[in-house]
Chain A
Amino acid sequence: MKEISIHPVLVFWLAIGWIGFIVLPWYGIEDGFFGLEWLLDGYPFELDYAPAAFLIAAGEKLWLAPLIVALVAPLLVLNRRKTEATYSRVLIASGGLGFAWLIAQGFGIGIRGYSTDWLVFLLGELGDRQFGMGYGGLLVASSFLFMLTQGIAARGAVNGDVFVVGTIGGIVAIVTIFVFFPITKMLSSAFSSDSGYSVLEFASKMFDDRLWGLACLSGGRCGAALNSLFLAILIGTLTTLLGLTFALVVTRTGFRHKRLLRALTVLPIITPPFVIGLALILLFGLSGSITVFLADVFGTQPTRWLYGLPGIAIAQTLAYTPIAFLVLIGVVEGVSPSMEEAAQTLRASRWHTFRTVSLPLMRPGLANAFLLGFIESMADFGNPLVLGGNFDVLSTEIFFAIVGAQYDQGRAAVLAMILLFFTLSAFYAQRKFVGRKSYTTISGKGDAGIHPLIPAGLAIPVLVIAAIWALFTAVVYGMIVYGSFVELWGVNNTVTFKHYVTAFSVRLEDSGIRWSGAAWDSFWTTIKIAIIAAPLTAIVGLITAYLLTRQSFPGKNSFEFGTMLSFAIPGTVIGVSYILAFNVPPIEITGTGVILVVSFVFRNMPVGVRAGIASMSQIDRSLDESSLTLGANSWQTFRRVILPLLRPAILAALVFSFVRAMTAISAVIFLVSAEYDMATSYIIGRVENNDYGLAIAYSTTLIVVMLTAVGIFQLLVGQVRIGRRTEFAPAG
């Protein structure tokens, strides 16, 4: 039996805490999170860059002094055994109190001294102030948090598993800070009016006819809430059906050009959403190519049919089917072939097998895909903005409530609450639908079966739909690429490279390469932010999925709710609430790259979570258990057994978050700054100046970059090896 008397994990976090306290600057650095100039600029004695210990020694910021106690106390129990009560008590006390004090002083003392009136009233004017926390504060806070979780683990929570308790604590903390805190701040403004808080005001906004009107049944305009709901159900259904279609074509038919199809279905997600909208206008708008062509041939009158529900529906279907596909492909491949073979040996025909075995086994995946489509559609901002016409939806209404002339934070918050209600209801319905059935299909027994083909009666329509889709997608992308080489669409159709030159010109000078194009700044920022955000998103998402599927702990349901919440909140709301919450200490990151990374991580995390859950619920628990009985701890089990089996989910999470970081617009438009401009907000700026050529050229470049990135990710992660033979061995 292993004797545990030193605690490597505790030593590690204590060291982190002390480094944060006596080595690194306590407060945020003006140059930004990644700037290193402070090292040469008077550190460690210059007060702006000084570590907390130096500050206290210099008699400054004395309210940081109590933290020393919380950092010293754990040193005294280092040689205690885990099972001793003192060990856990000291850790819980110092971790908990240290963390609480850190938070309290952060919120209590701001740029203008005490930040609330009652503190001033109680303690008098402070005569000092502090800025947002920096490296030091971050490290010390993490140290306290994980001390606390280790203390809780030592008391026997979750079987005393340090890794599990620590990850739960970590995720709860970051979700609270970066989701609940800003949203609470935002929602509290739903009740606020110019003169304090008012319930009447709230009610009048809540039951506004512009939200719930049914006038469209009689030729008028329906309310935005009903429009959004209808649209989201439509998109959820369409994308799920199409996604399933493609997943079946790729895995269950003799179709030969699967790789091509896979590539085509990935195209729309690597496209900024408004670009699909623009391309649709180029095709079907009043002076669009197809509209003009039809008018010439059949003499039909061009109409504005595209603007409104049809246009948004087409654009969103194009945009979100690939997400459903990515979710469903894993599920379709994960269905155990022996189940299907068993059905066939029970005299079920291929069609019966598909309908009674394969399809029900895919149910969790289908429900997930629908949920994603539904929520994506609800939160989409780019397409309704470009194609909405008179069809109001909630997400754009929120944007206009804040950005428009009305500037009504309260109305925006009310709209956000309705949106949240819809998405959460969908979430609940999905859970009811999936029920408690177990769909474990990758078991610990090697499965030597082969997936059967789907019946011909199904294969033909499925292939036809896939072909039509492929053709349509090809046309849309043809328009985008072609549009980027046209001087001025619809007016002067001369082919030119001018837009690319303006955006991406490079000059060789004596001092080296000069990136003289107009787009380079925002381009490099975007790449940098996306590369940082993608792996963070995947890690947080998959660890959360692991906790949700594999561990049981008190409060698991609220934990799941919390981690999925950020997905249900449209980007516009995230953007505004982040500005409200993170513009002031203790977390002061507005205008930095960090706020962009954080917003991407928390907006995209639920995709990682869902993909992880879908895959993990198909991996038999006995695999984890056997790993545990073989002496691996839960972290090693996670890394060596679960992660390798999760490669498709990891790929989905990485690709999705990288791509979203490059294409997202709704939250970004609030969070960019002069220093950190993103590609999408730059493009939107060009569109506003009617510079369509440059906008489309830039978008095309982005698409190429993202394609490359997707390819690289695919290579890095590799194919999962679960040792299943396929019926279609490479021909030869």
Chain B
Amino acid sequence: MAQARIVGKAAPVSLRQVTKIFSGDVIAVDNVDLNIATGKLVTLLGPSGCGKTTTLRIIAGLEMATSGTILIGNQDVTNLPATDRDVAMVFQSYALFPHMNVMENVSYGLKFSGYQKDEVRERALAGLNLVGLRDFGSRLPSELSGGQQQRVAVARALVLEPQVLLFDEPLSNLDAKLRRQVREDIRSIQRELGLTVVYVTHDQEEALAVSDEIVVMRNAAVAQMGTPRELYDSPIDSFVADFIGEANLIPCEIQRTRGNRATIAVDGYEYELPARGMQPGDATLAVRPSRLVLGQEAGIDGCIAKATYVGVRMEYTVETSFGSIFVVHDDVNTPLEVGHRLKVGFASSGPVLVNRV
């Protein structure tokens, strides 16, 4: 018997000036442009209510865009309902049909895709195999653990070999350990099959871990998009800086610029970094907690207010003239005492100038 194999039939997705307005005046998605290349995993990230789930549902065809165009595989699908789009979606609640067993759930979409009966079965089995649930076909969803239900939901979507696979916060119902494992599983299946995936989450760590590209959304619009590294290292504004990883937002003054370099001063401490097109004057500096160096000769005056031991490192809250900043330090053997006065400097790279929002 020929083994059915699940293969990817991935296609690119683009959204052009997509806007969604609910009940007349609530703008859920505001003029969003998005280009997702074939075989990439793109995460929509943002706080709740930022429009990321609505955007996903617009790609799925569960919501219709108020204006704008949606292309999947270069075909205009703007007015097609979910049924007629070649997408599959994994729901936050899994949405397994409670009256069907695992096998029936996974076969469900295949039955509408014109496969013969044998082939439906074979493909469904292959899908279950892929998620490691080959022997669970006759169980009911209620007889599975949360993680298993999640994998069934993934298998059910995968077997359709959709052009785009959508995930709506798929890990939010799982415990932390399982979360790491499942997200790695999802990522490796996605890579193996070369799937185009759009993934919604509000967990920045999850986003950094799984994505080829992250789209940070804020107030129904795209705040910034880029690779995890780009977003982490050069956030465009204070919102992105603070949302992706943690960042200390420090008021500073740009003293002069030369070419694309700028020299800034914070509390009398001078530092040089990329200007990013900013002009001399007041500005905001974003510095990751790990990019602050304690006890340098030059730096900002500070005083240790809190010291916390978290195993792999020390976490300090340092009181300064412009407020408190958060610093992590790898030296756990000789922790600094609360009340200790010292200079806090910046690492040679890392701090970036951002727009204040």
Chain A residues near B149: list those with CB within 8 A. 445-446
Chain A residues near B112: list those with CB within 8 A. 630-633, 636
Structural contact, A628 and B93, CB atoms closer than 8 A? no
Q: How far is the CA of A355 from the CA of B354 in the complex (A)?
A: 54
Structural contact, A627 and B108, CB atoms closer than 8 A? yes
Structural contact, A630 and B79, CB atoms closer than 8 A? no
Structural contact, B142 and A446, CB atoms closer than 8 A? yes
Structural contact, B98 and A722, CB atoms closer than 8 A? yes
Q: How far is the CA of A628 from the CA of B160 in the complex (A)?
A: 13
Structural contact, A160 and B97, CB atoms closer than 8 A? no
* Interface range for A: 35 or more
Considering the complex, which residues of chain B in the window 56-94 have a beta carbon less than 8 Å from any beta carbon of chain A? 60-62, 64, 72-73, 75, 77, 79-89, 91-94
Structural contact, B99 and A721, CB atoms closer than 8 A? yes
Interface residue B13 (Cβ < 8 Å from any Cβ of A) = no
Report which of A4, A161, A444 forms a contact with B94, defined as CB distance below 8 A.
A444
CB 8 Å contact bits of B266-286 with A (1 = contact, 0 = none) = 000000000000000000000
Most buried by A among B81, B95, B108, B153: B95
Q: Say which one of A591-599, A617-625, A704-712 lies at the interface with B.
A: A617-625
Structural contact, A640 and B81, CB atoms closer than 8 A? no
Report which of A161, A634, A723 forms a contact with B141, defined as CB distance below 8 A.
A723
Considering the complex, which residues of chain A in the window 621-668 have a beta carbon less than 8 Å from any beta carbon of chain B? 622-623, 625-634, 636, 640-641, 644-645
Structural contact, A83 and B87, CB atoms closer than 8 A? no
Chain B residues near A446: list those with CB within 8 A. 96, 98, 140-144, 149
Chain A residues near B141: list those with CB within 8 A. 445-446, 723
Interface residue A443 (Cβ < 8 Å from any Cβ of B) = yes
Chain A residues near B87: list those with CB within 8 A. 629
Interface residue A448 (Cβ < 8 Å from any Cβ of B) = yes
Structural contact, A1 and B77, CB atoms closer than 8 A? yes
Q: How far is the CA of A722 from the CA of B142 in the complex (A)?
A: 8
Interface residue B166 (Cβ < 8 Å from any Cβ of A) = yes
Q: How far is the CA of A490 from the CA of B160 in the complex (A)?
A: 75
Chain A residues near B113: list those with CB within 8 A. 631
Would you give the shortest CB distance from A493 to chain B, in whole angstroms? 54
Would you give the shortest CB distance from B160 to chain A, in whole angstroms? 6
Q: How far is the CA of A443 from the CA of B144 in the complex (A)?
A: 15
Would you give the shortest CB distance from A245 to chain B, in whole angstroms? 28
Would you give the shortest CB distance from B102 to chain A, in whole angstroms? 10
Q: How far is the CA of A443 from the CA of B173 in the complex (A)?
A: 13
Considering the complex, which residues of chain B in the window 94-115 have a beta carbon less than 8 Å from any beta carbon of chain A? 94-100, 108-109, 112-113
* Interface range for B: 35 or more
Structural contact, B142 and A159, CB atoms closer than 8 A? no
Chain B residues near A623: list those with CB within 8 A. 95, 97
Chain B residues near A630: list those with CB within 8 A. 88, 108-109, 112, 156-157, 160
Structural contact, A628 and B98, CB atoms closer than 8 A? no
Would you give the shortest CB distance from A607 to chain B, in whole angstroms? 23
Structural contact, A626 and B142, CB atoms closer than 8 A? no
Chain A residues near B60: list those with CB within 8 A. 625, 629
CB-CB under 8 A for A445 and B97, given A625-B82, A626-B91: no
Would you give the shortest CB distance from A229 to chain B, in whole angstroms? 37
Chain A residues near B99: list those with CB within 8 A. 644-645, 720-723
User: In chain B, what residue has the closest Cβ to A720?
Assistant: B99
Interface residue A514 (Cβ < 8 Å from any Cβ of B) = no
Chain B residues near A620: list those with CB within 8 A. 93, 95
User: In chain A, what residue has the closest Cβ to B152?
Assistant: A446
Would you give the shortest CB distance from A49 to chain B, in whole angstroms? 43
Chain B residues near A629: list those with CB within 8 A. 60-62, 82, 85, 87-89, 157, 166
Interface residue A108 (Cβ < 8 Å from any Cβ of B) = no
User: In chain A, what residue has the closest Cβ to B84?
Assistant: A2
Q: How far is the CA of A530 from the CA of B79 in the complex (A)?
A: 44
Interface residue A408 (Cβ < 8 Å from any Cβ of B) = no
Structural contact, B109 and A1, CB atoms closer than 8 A? no
Interface residue A102 (Cβ < 8 Å from any Cβ of B) = no
Chain B residues near A110: list those with CB within 8 A. none
CB-CB under 8 A for A445 and B157, given A625-B89, A629-B60, A723-B143: no
Interface residue A442 (Cβ < 8 Å from any Cβ of B) = yes
- Additional A-B contacts beyond A625-B89, A628-B83, A723-B142 (11; CB < 8 A): A443-B93, A446-B140, A448-B142, A625-B95, A630-B156, A630-B157, A632-B112, A633-B83, A633-B84, A721-B140, A722-B99
Interface residues of B (CB under 8 A from A): 60-62, 64, 72-73, 75, 77, 79-89, 91-100, 108-109, 112-113, 140-144, 146, 149, 153, 156-157, 160, 166, 173
9 smallest beta-carbon distances between A and B, as pairs: A630-B109, A446-B142, A444-B95, A446-B141, A723-B140, A723-B142, A626-B95, A628-B82, A622-B95
Sample (27) of A-B pairs whose CB atoms are under 8 Å apart: A1-B73, A83-B79, A444-B98, A446-B96, A446-B140, A446-B141, A446-B149, A447-B142, A620-B95, A622-B92, A622-B95, A626-B95, A627-B97, A628-B82, A629-B62, A629-B157, A629-B166, A630-B88, A630-B156, A631-B113, A632-B108, A634-B83, A641-B97, A645-B99, A720-B99, A721-B99, A723-B142
